[in-house]
Amino acid sequence: MPELPEIETVCRQLRDVILGAEITRTRVLDPKLRGSGGLTGRKVEGITRQGKAVALVLEGGGVIIVHLRMTGRFLWHEGKGIPPHTRLVISFSRGRLLLIDPRRFATVTVSKNLPTAPLGSDLLNDGDPSQLWLLAQKSKAAIKAFLMDQRRIAGIGNIYACEILHRAEINPWRKSNTLSRDAWITIAAVAKEILKQAITCRGTSVSDWRDLFGTAGENQRYLMVYGREGEACYRCGERVERRKLSGRGTYYCPACQNEKGGPNHGTMEL
């Protein structure tokens, strides 16, 4: 589930715990992750976020890129034994960093350099509305799919895409190239607010997301539409709907995101 705010949260917490620390041992518990061992003696020199991926930069060259995908999470563990679904153990003198991942979609790659990322701009740190507008002029894709396309915009996943569009009062099916420059100013501003708030809350814990120390995030308390099918919209009272958009459950308010006069007004076809 981890999207930008969840990964940002773990990165910040990892900096407090393993920055400058030396790897004393690695254990690979999932054959899919073979190739992510053999790092004994390496020191963690930096921790950065690349969209939704965590990059552990090693001293003397080399980097471990971890993508948590759907159910992956990191846990800092100082006790004995390991919890179920632990797929990788990276040991340090002061404790062990566990990669826990029930569905086993997470990926770990060890390479020489940070990848020349095919990632788009990051709405937390960049997100210039004029540039986004220009980029969107070239796309007929639904705005929600556009926001979630990591090559265009890095870090937005299904939960935050739904939340951003609801706060911006934009229909998820709206064609990207029909949005005005002003609309992009709104999107960029709203996205930054929502992402920052979620980071302050240490992420959104739907199902099993936990931060580095095993604590649930708080942002699920502030979700306006995600996971609220059939419940009243907090803004207008209409019932929140869920429909599929490019294969993903999409939550939206058919009233506040109907965009009267807009291309989809009155027709929520599909």
Catalytic residues: 2-3, 52, 248
From the list DNA, Zn ion, none, partner contacted by residue 235 (C-beta under 5 to 8 A by kind): Zn ion
DSSP state of 247: T
From the list DNA, Zn ion, none, partner contacted by residue 40 (C-beta under 5 to 8 A by kind): none
Instruction: Show contacts with DNA in window 211-240 (CB under 7 A).
Output: none
Q: Which of 105, 231, 236, 263 binds DNA (CB under 7 A)?
A: 105
How far apart, in whole angstroms, are the C-alpha atoms of residue 63 and residue 60? 10
Minimum CB distance to DNA smaller for 24 or for 139: 139
Minimum CB distance to DNA smaller for 18 or for 50: 50
Please identify which residue in the block is written with the tokens 């899919």: 32
How far apart, in whole angstroms, are the C-alpha atoms of residue 212 and residue 93? 17
Pairing of strands 241-245, 248-252: antiparallel
Q: Would you state the structure tokens that stand for residue 168, as one six-digit string?
A: 């911006």
Please identify which residue in the block is written with the tokens 């992009």: 184
Binding mask 50-69 for DNA (x = CB under 7 A): -xx--------------x-x
Q: Which of 94, 138, 196, 265 binds DNA (CB under 7 A)?
A: 138
Q: Which of 12, 32, 192, 235 binds DNA (CB under 7 A)?
A: 32
Binding mask 249-268 for DNA (x = CB under 7 A): x-------------------
User: Rounded to a whole number, what is the largest CA-CA distance in the chain?
Assistant: 63
Q: Which residues pair with 111 in a beta bridge?
A: 63
How far apart, in whole angstroms, are the C-alpha atoms of residue 157 and residue 194? 13
Closest CA to 73 of 214, 222, 200, 180: 214
From the list Zn ion, DNA, none, partner contacted by residue 71 (C-beta under 5 to 8 A by kind): DNA
- Count of residues in the chain: 270
Q: Which stretch binds Zn ion (CB under 5 A): 107-115, 185-193, 212-220, 252-260?
A: 252-260
- Concatenating the DSSP letter of every residue in 48-106 gives EEETTEEEEEETTS-EEEEE-TTT-EEEEE-SSS--TTEEEEEEETTEEEEEE-TT---
Instruction: Show contacts with Zn ion in window 219-248 (CB under 5 A).
Output: 233, 235-236, 238
Four-residue CA torsion sign, 66, 70, 76, 79 = negative
Minimum CB distance to Zn ion smaller for 245 or for 256: 256
Least spacing, CB of residue 75 vs DNA, in Å = 14
Q: Is 85 in the site for DNA (CB under 7 A)?
A: yes
How far apart, in whole angstroms, are the C-alpha atoms of residue 74 and residue 117? 22
From the list DNA, Zn ion, none, partner contacted by residue 238 (C-beta under 5 to 8 A by kind): Zn ion
- Contact footprint for Zn ion (CB under 5 A): 233, 235-236, 238, 253, 255-256
